Amino acid sequence: MGKSVMLQGTASGVGKSLITAAFCRIFKQDGYKVAPFKSQNMALNSFITKEGLEMGRAQVFQAEAAGLEPDVRMNPILLKPTTDKKAQVILNGKVHENMDAQEYHKFKPQLESMIKDIYENLSNEYDIVVLEGAGSPAEINLRENDVVNMGMAKISDSPVIIIGDIDRGGVFASLAGTMMLLTEEERKRVKGVIINKFRGDIKILEPGIKMIEDIIKVPVLGVIPYSNLKIEDEDSLADRFRRKSSKEKGEVNVEVLYLPHVSNFTDFNVFETQEDVNLRYVMRGESIGDPDILIIPGSKNTIEDLIYLRESGLERKINDLHKRGKLIFGICGGYQMLGKKLYDPEGIECGIKEINGIGLLDIETTFEGEKITTQVEAVIQNNVRGYLAGLEGVKVEGYEIHMGRSTVGRNSRYLDKIIKRVEENTSELEGAINIEGNVVGSYIHGIFDNINFTRSLLNNIRKMRGLDEIESSVKSFKEFKEREYDKLANIVRSSLDMNKIYEILEGEE
């Protein structure tokens, strides 16, 4: 079996996902075959592998950092919250069932042998596995049957490094408190700690580093500065949604509605790479501004989020923008909401069997029990107009994750033709666009990652406003992300004692 190291945190949001990706990139740069692993991930951001299996996006960007095709073994358990009390349990990429917290807690002991087998299988193929924990190992109420923090460290027999976030304050107390709440056996696994998201003069921090080392009896392996990289870091989502666009003088305004059950909001990260775009997320209690493009994203509970739009007054604003000719674009659940009717005869979502949609697209959607999970390639149809004029024949790639099936009526047109599904040739019509060409919907997550499609759309908006077209300095979103992973690795490598990290890997500490 390969070597391993596990990164755990004092809390959620301290940077575990990003530092795991950094370790994967560093070890790859150093010539090792390395893979990420997180036994259990709770997230509404997911991805579909080439095999049609669903996994958390955090392990996807970590796999990309490691130079690998995402593999569902890297995230064998994915929990997708459906309500405040229930989550859809996905095992090895396939839906198992919906469970509440107590049901899942009782179910976890049955998962340990599966996790052990999958981890060992992965470890046998790679020189190094970088494991990521979830939340904090000091959640003492969850210690029993734990399979994601110290329980997983025991299964994999991995040394542990604990990460603390100094930006939120109280990093020394959180590190000391975490160590105090671990059992003696668990503390023996901890070989060092990392202080993350530091701003300021490191000299001022140095006395505290010496004192915390004396208290917790393990070394501080380094201090990583606060950085603003354009990477899908789930640990920094709150920062992303709070901050304003860094390009407030950009000519094109894109706004994304942040729904209560929003999913796959990483679909819109690409807009941050476009020099002329101001990207804003419209949070709960905020008003829609005056965007050129308003995006309704995917949702884990489409009907409840549609009701939220209606009761909050946002639906009325969406209709106002439509009347003014602005572009309304729905992805997956957002696409379904734009239709005339949504039917849920089996009560798959929330018990409401039928509801009117926003009514801007002539489509109707029925929810069915079997989830569609597939990668796709498609080409834009020849009959598009309006904002998509000139995009006929443009190729797009992405993936579908949905339980609804939508039919398109005579007053809308299909958006694209799927030509490949899970690497098999096909010919299926998908998505919809209204006759005027200012309301668009698609099930394809990642459609905006196709720079040719997105840049052409943005340039159409520029032409409508009398602005010159521009070319993107980012020719490929994939290549852009590769550069960001290298930047991340450089920051982390220069901030940590990598010799000590390798000693920990070798068991020489």
3-state secondary structure 339-350: CCEEECCCCCCC
- Other beta carbons within 10 angstroms of residue 198's beta carbon come to 18
Q: Say if strands 327-331 and 293-296 run parallel, antiparallel, or are unpaired.
A: parallel
- How far is residue 210's CA from residue 235's CA, in Å, rounded to a whole number? 27
Q: Is 2 in contact with 127 (CB distance < 8 Å)?
A: yes
3-state secondary structure 424-442: EEEEEEECEEECCCCEEEE
**DSSP per position, 389-408:** TT-TT-EEEEEEEEEEEEEE
* Count of residues making up the chain: 509
Q: Which of 261, 322, 402, 445 is catalytic?
A: 445
- How far is residue 257's CA from residue 309's CA, in Å, rounded to a whole number? 9
Q: Is 174 in contact with 10 (CB distance < 8 Å)?
A: yes
Residues 6+ apart with CB under 8 A from 146: 137, 152
Q: Is 24 a catalytic residue?
A: no
Q: Say if strands 262-263 and 277-282 run parallel, antiparallel, or are unpaired.
A: unpaired
Q: Which of 261, 322, 332, 402 is catalytic?
A: 332
Q: Is 445 a catalytic residue?
A: yes
Buried b / exposed e over 88-127, threshold 16 CB at 10 Å, is: bbbebbebeeebeeeebeeebeebbeebeebbeebbeebe
- How far is residue 231's CA from residue 37's CA, in Å, rounded to a whole number? 18
- How far is residue 64's CA from residue 257's CA, in Å, rounded to a whole number? 28
Catalytic residues: 332, 445
